[in-house]
Structure 1
Amino acid sequence: MATFEITIDDEKIQELLHGDRGMAALLEPILNQILQAEMTDHLGAGPEERTNDRQGYRNGSYQRQLTTRVGRIELEVPRDREGEFQTALFQRYQRSEKALVLALMQMVVQGVSTRRVKEITTELCGREFSKSTVSRLTGELDEQVEAWSSRSLEEQSYPFLVLDAMHLKVRRRGARPSRWPRSTTVMLAVGINEAGQREILGLETAFGETNEGWSRFIGQLKRRGLSGVEVATSDAHEGLVQALREAFPGLIWQRCQAHFRRNVIDQTPSDYRDRMHQILDQLLEASSQSDMQRRFEEVSGEIEEKAPAALEVLTSGLFDATAVLALPGKYRRRLRTTNMLERFIEEIRRREKVIRIFPNIDSVERLVGALCAETHEEWSTGRRYLTMDAFFEWRELHQTQDPKAEETTETVPVAV
């Protein structure tokens, strides 16, 4: 979009300072001016502007209300004569906002809310809600989330895969007493395609993080067309690792180094933890797995004396935690942990704090799914996450090598 200036008249400033609408009064003119700038980009010309690049003409505007966490905003959405102009920005923005508001509304309707929740819904939307209103408003959003979560993945292959799970509190139907929350697992997958773009591939909810749950989720992704996975990064959940290896034979599994580091430190005496962090830095930042093995042999005696329990965790997991060293150096930093997915989970947590306990499983899938769809669009159409040329060269080289020769070079670190 072209650069443009935003102006706010004195009346709006006074409304912001002295009125009841607060930030909504400030946000409204900004968003309306952004809409006009979008239309200018779409047509290739401003209002009354004469240019050879013009692609069409304005045709007035229509009003649209946008409900946000700072209040209700009145938008003047411009129209063009051909009816082709669409503002994807607000369609993406409102999905997650609407999902958040709907979750709060359901809490009010079902009688499980606190007084504060009612205050929030009234502040956001200006009124209370009936069951029929909730049902009507959820329909369109559910269709959008379903379309995203069931879309085909066959058009691309995804060499890199990152998986993680989070846990939310949900009130379950049939639970006794009915107000008791139950922990619910949300499994998430991010893929990096051959163009180097990140995509959120899908989500799955389950009663717990089980072997069956991960197998079902990965199977669902494969049925939708997920293919070409060469490297997968995750924590060391046994069911997840097993499901990955069964679905994608021969893949490189990278154990998340952030999770692995915590596992080691948890088994390390407090007075030795600073030193253990230094050792882990040296091991995990080795130039190759043979270099890591050499470094490990140099410090294993010291670790055995100072932190024998931590040594056991190291010997069992260090090889998997440094699997990424097989890749070209430029890919190691971003694929050695699940941090990219952890940061997205933090965005979900930020919205969860408002709700605290979800009224039902549908509201979980609606809110998380809406945020997934919104973030997926931003990632898949935004800046490229990785350049893939070096990976393609590496893959071609290793596909021509003798697999048996490679096996003889891999050694699992052991204490000496």
Structure 2
Amino acid sequence: MDILNKEELRRQIKEGKDISLDGILDDFKALLRETIQTATEVELDEHLGYEKHQKSDNSNYRNGTNKKTLKSKYGDVDVAIPRDREGSFEPQLVKKRETLLNGSEDLILSLYTKGMSVRDIQHHLDDLYGYQLSEQTISNITDTIIEKAKEWQNRPLEPIYPIIFMDATVLKIRVDRVVKNIAAYIMLGVTLEGKKEILGIWIGENETSKYWLSLLNELKNRGVDDVLIFAIDGLNGFNEAIEAVYSKAEIQRCIVHQIRSSLRYVSWKDRKAVAADL
């Protein structure tokens, strides 16, 4: 069945032939296979400097294909990747030794962030898409996003921030195989150019002045030498930590929270007008 040909599809429907979702998926996978193989053949043309069947003085030439099975969120896709005699060809669309298409990585990371365990993800892929990945492969994929998060959390910061806002939000996080509501503290800084920047996100622990002190020392170590104003929302022990690390900074209760708190004493009509301005 060729559902990618509109006229052919119409003809088959008129003749009463069965059009199944499995058949549509098979046609889509065939298109994906053809696209990948065509693209890699063009990549090889660029690498060699001449197209197939053209004459060339290049001592390197085409040398058959390597068959591989790619894992995708549409199921397994068998492809034949062209290769060269010298083995210097490095395809970019589907790299050497790569067997997992990017869409599958995104799917795995999405399932992981929703609280599914590695074993749950493994079974989910098998049940819905008909392919299996080892627990180690899934763990390797999730580890990449963890490394990127650590790199972002420890990146260097500006030496001066005119104002830094600190507030908490509640996130659902898997802890010991159980999803719990955990406080996450978000710090937003405004640079001298007026640009807003998330400086970091910290998962709540034992929120004492000692905890806040370690957090602010982390900022110091990342290059923040001076802060003019900290706008916070009554976090216990935070004032003392700020005075210890950034003694010249002013401390203000978060203005937005103060205004929102006062809105309960304002009429509903006026409250909507003020809230819209915020």
TM-score (norm 1): 0.38
The structure-2 alpha-carbon separation of the partners of 1:277 and 1:146, relative to structure 1 and needing over 3 Å to count, comes to same
Secondary structure of 1:98's match? helix
Q: Please show how residues 401-412 of structure 1 align to structure 2 within 5 Å.
A: none
Q: Contact 2:189–2:196 at 8 Å: present in 1 too?
A: yes
2:90 to 83, 94, 113: 83
Q: Contact 1:183–1:208 at 8 Å: present in 2 too?
A: no
Separation (CA, whole Å) in 2 of partners of 1:255 and 1:184: 23
Secondary structure of 2:22's match? coil
Q: Contact 1:186–1:203 at 8 Å: present in 2 too?
A: yes
Q: Percent identity?
A: 16
What's the offset of the Cα at 1:138? 0.9
Q: Contact 2:183–2:203 at 8 Å: present in 1 too?
A: yes
Secondary structure of 2:217's match? helix
1:227 to 224, 227, 231: 224
Structure 2 counterpart of 1:183: 181
Bigger fraction of residues in strand? 2
Q: Deviations over 1:30-84 (max 9, x none)?
A: 79869959x97xx79x9959xxxxxxx999788574554xx44749789995638
Equivalent position amino acid for 1:10 in 2: N
Structure 2 counterpart of 1:204: 202
Secondary structure of 1:20's match? helix
Structure 1 unpaired stretches of 5+: 1-7, 50-56, 110-116, 174-178, 285-416
Higher relative contact order (CA 8 A, sep 6+): 1
2:5 to 3, 7, 10: 10
The structure-2 alpha-carbon separation of the partners of 1:256 and 1:141, relative to structure 1 and needing over 3 Å to count, comes to same
The structure-2 alpha-carbon separation of the partners of 1:276 and 1:199, relative to structure 1 and needing over 3 Å to count, comes to closer
The structure-2 alpha-carbon separation of the partners of 1:121 and 1:189, relative to structure 1 and needing over 3 Å to count, comes to farther
Q: Please show how residues 9-408 of structure 1 align to structure 2 within 5 Å.
A: 9-10=4-5, 18-20=20-22, 36=39, 48=51, 65=70, 67-68=72-73, 71-72=74-75, 74=77, 81=88, 83=90, 85=92, 97-102=107-112, 103-106=115-118, 108=120, 120-126=124-130, 133-146=134-147, 148-150=149-151, 152-154=154-156, 157=159, 159=161, 163-170=166-173, 172-173=175-176, 182-189=180-187, 201-207=199-205, 212-223=210-221, 225-227=222-224, 230=227, 236-239=233-236, 242=239, 243=241, 246-251=244-249, 259-265=257-263, 267-268=264-265, 272-278=267-273
Q: Contact 2:29–2:77 at 8 Å: present in 1 too?
A: no
Q: Deviations over 1:96-143 (max 9, x none)?
A: 53233344244649xxxxxxx96x5544553678xxx33453145325
Separation (CA, whole Å) in 2 of partners of 1:209 and 1:260: 22
Equivalent position amino acid for 1:153 in 2: R
CA RMSD of aligned residues (A): 5.8
Separation (CA, whole Å) in 2 of partners of 1:281 and 1:153: 35
Separation (CA, whole Å) in 1 of partners of 2:258 and 2:62: 58
Separation (CA, whole Å) in 1 of partners of 2:83 and 2:144: 25
Separation (CA, whole Å) in 2 of partners of 1:234 and 1:31: 55
* Bigger Rg, structure 1 or 2: 2
Q: Contact 1:105–1:121 at 8 Å: present in 2 too?
A: no
Separation (CA, whole Å) in 1 of partners of 2:191 and 2:94: 27
Separation (CA, whole Å) in 1 of partners of 2:135 and 2:71: 17
The structure-2 alpha-carbon separation of the partners of 1:153 and 1:231, relative to structure 1 and needing over 3 Å to count, comes to farther
Q: Deviations over 1:282-327 (max 9, x none)?
A: 8x7xxxxxxxxxxxxxxxxxxxxxxxxxxxxxxxxxxxxxxxxxxx
